[in-house]
Amino acid sequence: MDTAQVATELGTTARTLRVFLRSSHSTFVPVGSGARYEFTDRELPTLRKRFAEWQKAGKPRPPAVPAKGETKERMKPRKLTTREKRDQVVWAEEGDIKLPDIRDPRVRARALADARAAEDRLMLRLMAVGLHITQLGDQR
């Protein structure tokens, strides 16, 4: 039996069943290329029992303490790269800057207006020193 057939037997979708099969509640191991699962009729009662337990447990969370036989290395936070350290220093210098959401139409309109104003100021400064790039104004 494949995952679609087992899912119909369990009364769920194949997608939900695959999430369960990748969880720690499942002991079933994928076989073949593409990590496919193969089941027999004898495995169906075990699968049904563990799937019900998994559903009762809700969304599984990662363990807070290392599991039996697991090293403490896994629990340590990873080391930051040099770039990440520099970024943290820069972010700390900036303080609590909150950027507006550019998906908001009002924020987007204001950003476009500011960009046009900056472009106009640049054009005026260029023209003041004798450089004329009038083609940029034709885009509007």
Span 5-35, pLDDT tens digits: 888 888 888 888 888 888 777 777 666 566 6
Q: Is residue 81 part of a domain?
A: no
60 close to 23: Cβ distance less than 8 angstroms: yes
The pair of three-digit structure tokens given for residue 3, joined into one six-digit string: 């995952």
Neighbouring C-beta atoms of residue 105, cutoff 10 Å = 8
Residue 73 lies in a domain: no
Amino acid making up residue 63: P
Q: Does residue 29 belong to any structural domain of this protein?
A: yes
Q: Tell me the two tokens of residue 81.
A: 């790269």
Chain mean position to CA 40? 35
Question: Side-chain half-sphere of 110: how many Cα atoms within 13 Å?
Answer: 8
Boundaries of domain holding 8: 3-57
- The answer to whether 42 touches 33, Cβ cutoff 8 Å, is no
Q: Would you say residue 91 lies in a domain?
A: no
Residue type, 109: A
Note the pLDDT of residue 116.
93
Query: What mean pLDDT comes out for the span 65-84?
Result: 67
**pLDDT of 63 above 70:** no
The CATH number of residue 49's host domain is 1.10.1660
Q: Would residue 42 count as lying in a domain? A: yes
The stretch 82-91 carries a mean pLDDT of: 84
Number of domains, the chain: 2
Whether residue 34 is contained in a domain is answered as yes
Residue 137 lies in a domain: yes
Instruction: List, in sequence order, the alpha helices (H) in the chain.
Output: 3-10, 14-22, 44-57, 82-94, 105-128
Q: CA 135 → CA 27, 64, 115, 121, 123, distances in Å?
A: 67, 62, 17, 15, 10
For residues 41 and 98, the model is more confident at 41
- At 44-62, the pLDDT tens digits run 888 888 888 888 877 555 4
What is the average pLDDT score of the chain? 78
Q: Is the pTM of this model over 0.75?
A: no
Q: Is residue 70 scored above 70 in pLDDT?
A: no
